[in-house]
Structure 1
Amino acid sequence: MLDAGPAASGWSDQCRTLARMADIVRRRFGAEYTLAGLDLLLHRIGWSVQVPSRQATERDEAKIAARKGEQWPVIKRGRRTWAPGCASRAKPARV
């Protein structure tokens, strides 16, 4: 039933949600699962969360590539491994 898709179960859009899948399992097998329990069960049989393939019509690939070229190196640059100072809010004791 899951392979048949949402339209075969009565939903016109092609959106699968855990709540809808729980409804299919309840109708077909008479078993009630929590959404977390159903998620674990579906992962065991090889199903995974899927991201929608739709993208915004306003999406500009050239601007995205330019921004990645500018911003990504700044974001990914290495951190300093050592810096003077103390993370404690209290003043360090003087020796």
Structure 2
Amino acid sequence: MQLLLAHVTGIQLSVRGVWELLRTHGWSCRQPARRAIERSEAAVAGWIKETWPSAKPLPRRSGPGSSSRTRPLSR
């Protein structure tokens, strides 16, 4: 956000400065209190069933590991 503001306006602000600017204009980081009227529950259910499984991260392999960051795991 800082880089975008600096690029668009030519003014550099700190992180706190950006939040103060947003807050003075009524912005917040809260989620919306309600869902969109246009929301299609059938489309959401289809996306969750078809698209989401391929977007989820793969599970980590279980097995012995090393607590040392400098020594590689010997196999």
TM-score by length of 2: 0.38
TM-score by length of 1: 0.31
Q: Does 1 or 2 have the higher relative contact order (CA < 8 Å, sep 6+)? A: 2
Q: Which has the larger radius of gyration?
A: 1
